[in-house]
Amino acid sequence: MFSTIIKRLPVHRPQTFYRPLLLQSQAYSKAIEDKRRESILGGGKEKQDAQHEKGKLTARERLNLLLDEGSFREYDAFIEHRCTDFGMEDKKIAGDGVITGHGTVYGRRVFVYSQDFTVFGGSLSRTNADKILKVMDQAMLVGAPIIGLEDSGGARIQEGVDSLAGYADIFQKNVLASGVVPQISLIMGPCAGGAVYSPALTDFTFMVQDTSYMFVTGPDVVKAVTNEKVSQEVLGGARTHTTKSGVAHNSFSNELEALQGVRDLIPYLPLSNKEAVPYKASSDPIQREDPALDDIIPSNSSIAYDMKEVISRIVDYHSFYEISPKFATNMLVGFARLGGTSVGVVANQPLVSSGALDIDASIKAARFIRFCDAFNIPLVTFVDVPGFLPGTNQEHSGIIRHGAKLLHAYCEATVPKLTVITRKAYGGAYIVMSSKHLRGDYNVAWPTAEIAVMGAAGAVEIVFRNHADKVGMRKEYKEKFTTPLAAAKRGYLDDIIKPRETRGRLIEQLEMLKTKSLQNPWKKHGCIPL
């Protein structure tokens, strides 16, 4: 018995016994820290200096500016690629060219990945893709936005189909995350070939002027196939995608402004589709009246005015964040706050094409409306629209199909929908622009509103083509049909209000509609006319 007890007593070994174990532990710790430093250094100081010479930041510098100080928590810093072809087994860098993790923006959780151009040109490997997929899965799991900083030469050629499979997996995840958490892409360098489709699938894409490019096929391929000589900037630069193609939602003159632009957007967005609309306390009085609005609409309906000024006078001070300001400028879309609550604003811009709806305007607004509806953001629409833009170019390019996208977006939206008709609301465009007939919750007009099948001049030419007194007929038509009273008498307007009262009315209705509950009939998904 005593011998058993003695055997169980702790053995006091001399200090020299533990010394090899301690040295081994220290060696392991040093190896780990060396590998971590390697990951932080990326492609090395020389390549980082090359980035700076191009006016570009490194992948880590970008994250440090995007996220709140000290909030970044990195994932998978030690991962290395597994490729053994073309001598790649001797070319391994910890992190493998993309930095992933999570942090906060103004205290709100976001998941991020930042491609590192100094490591294999930021090319996508299988392990690289797996890192991105992991943070996307985490973002969907906890309900937080995904922000991707893109700066990549494309697929890692040495890995062949594995790299393509990585892209495919990311595209699939983009689609699964769509409407679940907001997805934002910031193009900070080249983004070519199949790589362009991940940003295209996200909700918002921003670019940096002169240093970022997006194209499916580059200038060399274009010249070889079509014999057309074109620069990277003209083919797929920031100007092209923010003014012509509409692929990008905005561009910035440098990376600092671009990163701040993304930071400024985040506070308007719910973290996920299960979150309430963000609220930010405002010193702007709820019942503030603006007498200037009473005279902002010109007495002559053919004279234009700036709808941006109308919006800025109604929403909370300095809260309008415009989306796609340089594309389809006859349509305004963006986020704002009313009484501190985030709202999506859609408005015709009379300064451009009289605010008429065309293909680009319809697509721009439809996409924005669907985003707001997916994330429970109320919609506020300001209407001054003379109709759809006429012409063979529009008809042959499919204005019917594209205009139907806007109609479909408003019809399927179940969020609170508030509409203010400031002046013209003619024909089919009146219906499409969030009219009462499309389940509008609060539809009002200013006294200057003109609601009719068409303008008086056009109507008289059709109805009273041979009438001797066409001037008198125009006056009679306007008195009978183009005043807001005709629509109000039929219940198509909830009220005719003084322009100065618009802000207070909208906030009052938003507060009431917080408990709105509306569901569309069950379906797998609608068939929007894509």
Q: Measured between alpha carbons, how far is 310 from 320 in angstroms, rounded to an integer?
A: 11
| Complete edge-to-edge strand list for the sheet that includes strand 146-150 | 73-75, 98-105, 108-115, 146-150, 183-187, 204-208, 250-252
Strand positions, DSSP E, 339-430: 341-348, 379-385, 417-426
What does DSSP assign to residue 203? S
Q: Measured between alpha carbons, how far is 16 from 14 in angstroms, rounded to an integer?
A: 5
Contact 374, 179 (CB under 8 A): yes
Question: What values do phi and psi take at 129, rounded to 5?
Answer: -65, -40
Residue that is written with structure tokens 């080249």 in the block = 190
Burial of residue 302 (CB within 10 Å: 0-12, 13-18, 19+) is exposed
Q: Measured between alpha carbons, how far is 444 from 470 in angstroms, rounded to an integer?
A: 31
Q: Is 12 helix (H, G, I), strand (E, B) or coil?
A: coil
What's the number of CA atoms in the CB half-sphere (13 Å) around residue 461? Answer: 5
Contact 149, 186 (CB under 8 A): yes
Q: Which residues contact 399 (CB under 8 A, 6 or more apart)?
A: 358, 359, 362, 388, 389
Element (H, E) at 322: strand 321-323
Angle of helix 126-142 versus helix 161-177 axis, rounded to 10: 10
Contact 232, 218 (CB under 8 A): yes
Q: Which residues contact 96 (CB under 8 A, 6 or more apart)?
A: 79, 80, 81, 119, 120, 125, 127, 128, 131
Q: Which residues contact 49 (CB under 8 A, 6 or more apart)?
A: none
Q: 441: which 2 tokens?
A: 């919750």
Contact 310, 351 (CB under 8 A): no
Residue that is written with structure tokens 């991962």 in the block = 79
Element (H, E) at 112: strand 108-115
Query: Annotated catalytic sites, by residue?
Result: 193-194, 428-429
Does the CA dihedral 367-108-381-261 come out positive or negative? negative
Q: Is 496 helix (H, G, I), strand (E, B) or coil?
A: strand
Q: Taking every pair of C-alpha atoms in the chain, what is the biggest distance, in angstroms?
A: 129
* For the chain, the helix, strand and coil percentages under 3-state DSSP, each to the nearest 5: 45, 20, 35
